[in-house]
Amino acid sequence: MSANFAFFVLPVILLLIGLPIYLILLVSALLAAVFVVGVPMTTIQTYMFASLDNFPLLAIPFFLLAGEIMGQGGIARRLIVWVISITGSMRGSLAVTTVASSELFGAMSHTAVGTVAAVGRLVLPALRESGYGDRFSVSLIASSGAIAVVIPPSISMILYGMSAQQSAIALFTAGILPSVLIGAVDAAYVLGYSRLHTVAAAEKARWSKIWASTREASWALGTPVVIFGGIYGGIFTPTEAAGIAVVYSFVVTMFIYRDIGWAELWRITLSAAYLISQILIIVTAAGIYSWMLTTSGIPAHIVAFIEGLQMPAWATLLAINLGLLLIGSFLEPPAAIMILTPLLLPIAQAFGVDPIHFGIIMAVNLSIGMYAPPFGLNLFASQAIFDVPLGMIYRGVIPFVLINFATLMVITYVPAISMILLR
């Protein structure tokens, strides 16, 4: 059996026939262990265990649990209502609010689909009332929700950091300006759209309303302070910050807002354990797949082959971006990062790209894949949640895919946007 068959052809066939992704990686790794690399089969258990036995990974279950408590309790709702209340009467402000709410909630929930559901349910009725059509509104929500993949502290960056052996905090810091840039570009686009389509201006913001929503959301607003202040203030590690976020959101939701009871908390914990398993089982399987891949020497051969093509660095990066965009529309970011980082990072490094910068490029690119037609997961989630035809969303997201791809190009070719805060 050839290495190419075990590592690439077979996984693609199994992917197309709908096998679970973790199983595909395991089958491929097992066959490679026997026929390509020739390692003793007993090492499989040890390496699988080692894939999870990684301290930075601990932040993922805690962030996911905190996100579930915030989303299913009342913290997310209060934060979004607060953002809506502070936006002025400017034409297009409601659409900008959708972008801002997604950035804020995405930073805490860490799941793109969760952000689409939480933000979308609250803002879609208001967007419709203001005269935005369903095509624009649902597409805006679907594309804005994908920011959760990029905005720190993101799970994609934790996984990339683990796979590329880079600091998660450095990746979080590098991800700040690109996230702001994506938000700003999206906001500029939706403002332009609103003016062009003469959408009605929103109700004028009143101090009394702002004060009331701020008071109502004051404890909820403490959540980002705890997460970001803890990590960037150098007080907590990401894992500790994630753990504190769980305890904080639990106390605020249960004892201050009293939105949920013990039974509901148990249901949320069950739901979080489910979500954690769905994601981390892929990490476990991808760990052993990556180990086999690296041991086989394939990444080094690919680097040598691409260097032999003597393409300029910009063309190689463009090819990587286009390939990632295609793969990202099929695969969820955690799987794509765990599978592709060992393959693509050596290529990027051979062309002088900093590993931290490359992590940001991957995260931004895969976030676009979340809503890129025809298979982006946010598209299907939006269709299911908001009950609108998929074809309508396909047409609506095209402008968002194009402008965000343009932003990705800027982030790719201007490394300073990612790296300046690290200096």
Partner 1 sequence: MFTAAKRLAQTVHAAAAVLLLISVAINFANIIGRYFLSAPIEWAEEMMLFLMVGCVFFGNCVVGWDGRQIRMDVFVQMLPPAVRVALDYLSECAIIAVSLLLAVLAWPVIEQLYEFDQRSQAADFPLVYPQAMLPLGFLIIAILVLARVIGRLSRAIEIETGH
**Residues at the contact surface with partner 1, assessed by CB under 8 A:** 15-23, 26-27, 30, 41-42, 44-46, 48-49, 52-55, 57-58, 61-62, 65, 235-236, 239-240, 243-244, 246-247, 266, 269-270, 272-274, 276-282, 284, 330-332, 335, 374-375
CA distances for 26 relative to 29, 80, 135, 163, 299, angstroms: 5, 41, 40, 17, 19
User: CB of residue 9 vs partner 1: minimum separation in angstroms?
Assistant: 16
- Residue whose CB is less far from partner 1, 21 or 356: 21
Which is nearest to 290 in space by CA: 57, 51, 60, 56?
A: 51
User: CB of residue 106 vs partner 1: minimum separation in angstroms?
Assistant: 19
- Residue whose CB is less far from partner 1, 193 or 228: 228
User: Residue 131 — φ and ψ, nearest 5°?
Assistant: 100, 5
- Residue whose CB is less far from partner 1, 21 or 169: 21
User: CB of residue 135 vs partner 1: minimum separation in angstroms?
Assistant: 22
Q: Yes or no: say if 52 and 19 are a contact pair by the CB < 8 Å rule.
A: no
- Residue whose CB is less far from partner 1, 25 or 150: 25
- Chain centroid to Cα 175, Å, comes to 12
Q: Which residues contact 40 (CB under 8 A, 6 or more apart)?
A: none
User: CB of residue 394 vs partner 1: minimum separation in angstroms?
Assistant: 13
Distance CA 135, CA 131 (A): 11
DSSP class of residue 225? I
- Residue whose CB is less far from partner 1, 256 or 420: 256
User: CB of residue 234 vs partner 1: minimum separation in angstroms?
Assistant: 12
Tokens found for residue 128: 């419709």
CB atoms within 10 A of CB 423: 5
Distance CA 324, CA 372 (A): 12
Which is nearest to 414 in space by CA: 178, 242, 226?
A: 178
DSSP class of residue 114? H
- Residue whose CB is less far from partner 1, 289 or 351: 289
Q: Please name the helix (run of DSSP H) or strand (run of DSSP E) that holds residue 29, with its range, or none.
A: helix 21-31
Sign of CA dihedral 201, 87, 118, 186: positive
Q: Yes or no: say if 146 and 370 are a contact pair by the CB < 8 Å rule.
A: yes
- Residue whose CB is less far from partner 1, 52 or 180: 52
User: CB of residue 27 vs partner 1: minimum separation in angstroms?
Assistant: 6
User: CB of residue 54 vs partner 1: minimum separation in angstroms?
Assistant: 8
- Residue whose CB is less far from partner 1, 243 or 359: 243
User: CB of residue 280 vs partner 1: minimum separation in angstroms?
Assistant: 4
Sign of CA dihedral 66, 69, 72, 76: negative
- Residue whose CB is less far from partner 1, 3 or 19: 19
- Residue whose CB is less far from partner 1, 65 or 79: 65
User: CB of residue 370 vs partner 1: minimum separation in angstroms?
Assistant: 13
Which is nearest to 404 in space by CA: 321, 345, 348?
A: 321
Distance CA 234, CA 232 (A): 5
> For the chain, how big is the Rg over CA atoms in Å?
22
DSSP class of residue 57? G
User: CB of residue 15 vs partner 1: minimum separation in angstroms?
Assistant: 5
